[in-house]
Structure 1
Amino acid sequence: MKRLTTAALAVLTVLVMVFSLTACGGKAVTLTVHDKDAKTEVEANVGMTVSQVLEKAEIKLGEKDETEPAKDEKIAEDIKEITVKRYAKVTVKLGDESREIEMTGGTVADAIKKSGLNTDGCEPDIDKDKYLEDGMVINMVKGTKVTLTVDGKTNDVATKAKTVEDFLKEQKVTLGADDEVSEKLTAEIKDGMKIVVKRVEYKTEEKTEKIEYKTVEKESDSLEAGKEEVTQEGKDGEKTVTYKVKYVDGKEDSREKVEEKVTKEAVDKVVTRGTKAESSQQEQPQQSQQQEQPQQSQQEQPAGKTVVSKENFPDCDGSGHGYYEIHYSDGSVEYQQY
């Protein structure tokens, strides 16, 4: 009897576990519940209904509220989010006209659109993206007309903003650190104002550039005058130049050189010009001078005696100068410089 009781308890335990798994849906999943601006994460099991998940998350639904997926839909493994759509009855007013709008899960912009009122040039007194609240009254007021150019688009916008900064926030325009605005952010909004936002980005770019070689002239006395020759060929060098480049709306606007580094030196081209005088031109004056000296000495020869011998003694410095030692028939000796 005791053995049967133990077996019965074991079967009962298994049945309870199976029932629990079936009731809980088995595999656990994490879901994110979106309720207007609020987000709630809740642990649930596959097989639970949306209503059961919301009850577990302590989120209450109104009689006309809706959900996506639907309230009675069961949670599957591929479902990650639940959206709560709150019912709201609101009034949209434009001057003497008004419309009552009933919506589930809408925003102020949705209600204005559904009202069918001609709201051109008007703005609501409540943020367009705000979720509707039951009993809300939306007043449409005439806005200031502004032309906005940003991200390649130009639109005429009616606004109730007081400053340029407020207007850009209203239009969901986020400014980057280097972006430029045609008007000061503190400037007062005026009818017909044109506001241009330029997206500015700075990038650092490197570029390899050529260093052109120079031509250098040199003189050499080992080369005859009037002649020249290339004694060294020139070669271009290279340098890496770093630029800070400004882009406006994706197009290059300017660039500034911030660093320059030579990676290969240029080699100068050397042209040598000759300065050496021709040998025949050097010897000719010496020969003519030597020829003239005897003539001069013969002309200056004293009367009554003759030249017995004439010996040349040139200077040792190679200047072409020196002296003659002249012996006459009367035994006298004379020295003549040249």
Structure 2
Amino acid sequence: MARRWTPQRMMRLRTIRIASSMVTIVALLLGFFVCARKTVALEVNGETTTVTTFATTIPGFLREQHVKLKTHDLVRSSTPGQLTDNSTVTVQSAYQTTISIDGQQMPFWTVADSAEQLIAFFEQNEVAANRITVDIKNVYNQLTGGLVINADGPVTVIADGKTSIAPNGKLPAASIIDSKGITLGKNDRVSVSKDGSQTILRVERVTTKEITETEDVPFSTQTIVDDSLEPGATEVRQEGRNGQNQLRYRVTYVDGKEDSRELLDTTPLSTPIDRIIAIGPEPVKETPQKEDNSGASNDEVQSAGQSAGNSAGTNNKQSATENNTGDAAKPSAESSPTPSAQPSQQPSAKPSEQPTSKPTQSAQPTQKPSEQPTQQPSAQPTQQPKPTPTPTQKPTQQPEQPTPSNCRLCKPSPSAAQAYAAGAAAQYGWTGKNWEDLVKLWNRESNWLWYAENKSSGAYGIPQSLPGSKMAQFGENWKEDAAVQIDWGLNYIATHPKYGSPSKAWAHSEKYGWY
């Protein structure tokens, strides 16, 4: 017998369905809670804490823990990409120091806890450590109260021409300098370098002084053409005299030796006087002319023409008509074998044109000597201004792309860019094969040229950022500053979920042709 429907039975069934749904939801929430809950070890500048989190990414985890990151801070995780249970996240705060590579100074962001470690970063990637000098510009205000010099041994201190040994290299630079009784001036320089196994802390005394010097301003020479002089003759019309400027410099001395000087101002004392030289016209180059009557003077030719014209007799009318028809006269003169035809035309037409038309037409040989001197002075001034656009363009072009004052590694050679990248990559732990693969990767991308640009895609710089403006987060001078480009490229590889290291980025580039 089937059960009858009753209100009580309906309520019991509804209660059972609601209870089962609630159990399912609780089970799902409990499962998600168990799976999403992670225990993560967070290490910030050497201090480690164990925290519980539900974050799935490293940036989200750091925001949750209120860890504020600066641009050059290094973040590492034992599980790159996703955050998993029992991961270890390490944060190292970067600070800026100044290094010199082969005498070229550049600001350098580092996480090193000692100068010895900083120099070792370069050495790990086969950059000679004796080429690197660490300049400590403010030893009393560095991370953790002062930069440690050498955590592994003694330090050689050189100051004021004296050399001494500080046995405890674990002390900050400020403490070592104080222990030696050395008082630093405001502009004194403190640097750390390596000479083989010896770590050297050097103090250089810096003084400045303003000096005044007098500088000669050389005169220039002007050349004019004087028709009254003989062809090829020269005459000094005015002797030249140098001018003088007074220059005021601020000179910087390092340990008593001049290191650099800055020009403060220039005061003219006297104006240079130009030297003026007059030259005669160029000698006339006579061109050989064909003469039908060799040795005959013009008068003889003229008289011969007149006598020939008078002795024409009965043919006088015919010669007159031939002279008045221009085209008919020319063939008769050219074809006539006798020399008497040319003299017969010259007195009839050309003597009347010589005084009026020849000076303006400048076609006769008699005008060549007077024409050549007049053309020379007119041609020289017109030719001299032609090269003037080049000096006028240089000043306009140079201010367009000045070297920025805050540019750390501006327009370097590929070798200088690689030297910088060697130390920066070693701070990520990228040495050995990782460094070799990074060199190959950026050789393929840009040949380590800071100005490399892909015309089709717009990718720019040593790491070929697409677009190049992405690198602006590491510095506004990303177009010229190789340090900005390298710092961005290393961070891009480190934080990319598919890479995490140059070797993985290089493997991707080998497979697909890009990274």
User: Could you say which TM-score interval applies, normalised by the shorter chain?
Assistant: 0.3 to 0.5
Tell me which protein shows more strand as a share of its residues.
1
Flag the structure with larger Rg. Answer: 1
Q: Whose RCO is larger (CA < 8 A, sep 6+)? A: 2
Q: TM-score if structure 2 supplies the norm length?
A: 0.28
TM-score (norm 1): 0.41
